[in-house]
Homo-oligomer: A and B are copies of this chain.
Amino acid sequence: MAGSTFGKLFTISTWGESHGKGLGVVVDGCPAGIPLCEDDIQIFLNRRKPGQSEFSTKRNEADKVEILSGVFEGKTTGTPISLVVYNQDQKSKDYGEIANSYRPGHADYCFDEKFGFRDYRGGGRSSGRETIGRVAAGAIAIKALNTLGISFTTYTRSIGPNVIDYSKFNKDEISNNPHYMPDKECAQKSSEYLKEIMSQLDSVGSSVECIISGVPAGIGEPVFNKLDAILAQAIMSIGAVKAVEIGDGVKVSQAVGSENNDNFFNNDGFISKSTNHSGGTLGGISDGSDVLVRASFKPTPSIFKEQNTVNKNGEDIKLAIKGRHDPIIGPRAVVVVEAMCAITILDLLMINATSKIDNLVKIYK
């Protein structure tokens, strides 16, 4: 598969398997001159690290990142930045049993059909650990975007039936609870709910939202590389995501035009919108308001409950998955969603830099 590269000017190429030697990413096309050190990246990786709460896998990985190239004297050089995280706690014996089974909800069967065989250890390439490369690359993109005044607020919106109350939205609360929720009360209910789900040897779905502030109007390339279209690819490419919404999302299908349209008005000399149903894009181009992206995550497919399935020979079997698994995907994926949004925004922002001949004149004359 040649599908491990994302982006057109700011490109990331990820590699690595759950139980191989390590995982990493090559970031190419990163503008030169951005201050960057390993700590800048590590703080993002720490947000997705396993084993940080009772609701996360007990796999013990430091996930320590190393910069192998592309940074000199503390700044990006414009050449490829190679990042690596070596695996440490690969308990391959945990996974021996699944070598011959097709786990429901997992890609085992599909990989076998596609490639003829698969690295079955911990899901191989289809493991959630694959996102390490995304998060590491996203940290660099965010560093660059901050320079331009663009920032991200990303959080878990819901865990099963527990949805945050937007009237109680508190940004500071996000990092205060294990679910990365901006609503303290909802986080507490979610904890109780998750304990119940875990006691049933089951798992549950969730949703994550990302608000991107400071994006200038004009970003996104109609008609196929619209801002929302590339965001949709970026987010849907994250394992377990089954829906991507921009702004009001699925609700628009029941709205009427006079309510759904956001009116423009003169806001102290600047053109603004009085509402933001559009989620920051019109015609696939940023409109200067916050960009709002929502992802729906399916329940973790690995559950301890016994399930019916088949083995490689197509024989019906019973399977109770063992090992170490999160009962929920959203919270640890918050930083992955943020990373993918950042990579998308930076790439499209770079592409937009040459949309006008005036911009080229500005740079070259």
Q: Would you call A237 and B284 a contact (CB within 8 A)?
A: yes
- Note all chain B residues with C-beta closer than 8 A to A263: 104, 307-309
- Asked whether B364 lies within 8 Å of A363 as measured between CB atoms, the reply is no
Interface size on A, residues (CB 8 A): 174
Query: A111: shortest Cβ distance to chain B, in Å?
Result: 7
Residues of A285-301 contacting chain B, CB below 8 A: 285-288, 296-301
Q: Is the CB of A117 within 8 A of B32?
A: yes
Does chain B have a CB within 8 A of A95? no
A172 at the interface (CB under 8 A from B): no
Beyond A1-B221, A252-B205, whether A243 also contacts B244 by CB under 8 A is: yes
Establish whether residues A287 and B109, one from each chain, have CB atoms under 8 Å apart when the complex forms: yes
In the complex, residue of chain B having the shortest beta-carbon distance to the beta carbon of A22: B68
How many copies of this protein are present in the complex? 4
Tell me whether A166 is interfacial, beta carbon within 8 Å: no
| Complex CA distance for A232 and B309, rounded to whole angstroms | 29
Least distance between A2 CB and chain B CB atoms (Å): 3
Identify which of residues 309-333 in chain A touch chain B, using a CB-to-CB cut-off of 8 Å.
309-310, 314-316, 330
Closest CB pairs A-B (n = 9): A107-B283, A3-B221, A2-B29, A3-B225, A203-B257, A110-B285, A257-B299, A114-B218, A32-B115
| Contact in complex: A1, B23 (CB < 8 Å) | no
